[in-house]
Amino acid sequence: MKELVLYIAQSLDGYIARKDQSIDWLLEYDDPTVSERYNQFIKQIDTIIMGYSTYRQLIEELSVDNWPYNDLNVFVLTHRPLENPYGVNFVHGDIVDIVEESKRVAQKNIWLVGGASIIEQSYKNGLIDRYYITIIPSLLGDGIKLFDHLNDTKKLKQINTYRMKDCIEIEYINA
């Protein structure tokens, strides 16, 4: 069965971005083992869901003038009317409906990229099936938390731990 998979990196103190939404600190870790893990992961994906801020970070910071997801079905949740230079599906709607439709048509798993608001909505609606959290050995001290406004406790089961050069990736499923 196709799963909605959260695959994301966070600082050791739990942040996925600085307060200004910058992810410049991630770029300091050019670790080939992290790239290798990512390449293994992306082979299991044919659909991506992300928010506008994450999309903007991608095209303005991480992959300027080089759209990395040409062969994938990409949904960007936004209220903004945007030009579509990469064949991206800009959608406005309920995350539950978008995930359910994605699961209906996807042939492989669906990558929930971010940002924090979409991750939180997906979590609160019980949509996330699998979590891959890469811990980056940086302490930011402040910023945007991966999980900041949760109002309940959810037990997860650890499936795997992958040790890389400086980073650790932990894989969880719902318990």
| Residue 169, pLDDT score | 96
DSSP state of 121: H
Q: Write down the pTM of the prediction.
A: 0.93
User: Could you tell me the end-to-end alpha-carbon distance of the chain, in angstroms, rounded to an integer?
Assistant: 17
**Separation between Cα atoms, residue 169 and residue 134, nearest integer Å:** 4
Burial class (CB in 10 A: 0-12, 13-18, 19+), 67: middle
| Residue 160, pLDDT score | 97
| Residue 26, pLDDT score | 87
| Residue 152, pLDDT score | 85
| Residue 174, pLDDT score | 94
| Residue 106, pLDDT score | 95
**Separation between Cα atoms, residue 57 and residue 20, nearest integer Å:** 11
**Separation between Cα atoms, residue 56 and residue 43, nearest integer Å:** 24
**Separation between Cα atoms, residue 31 and residue 166, nearest integer Å:** 8
Taking the chain (175 residues) in consecutive chunks of 10 residues, what is each chunk's mean pLDDT? 95 95 84 88 96 89 87 92 82 94 95 95 95 96 92 92 93 96
**Separation between Cα atoms, residue 27 and residue 19, nearest integer Å:** 17
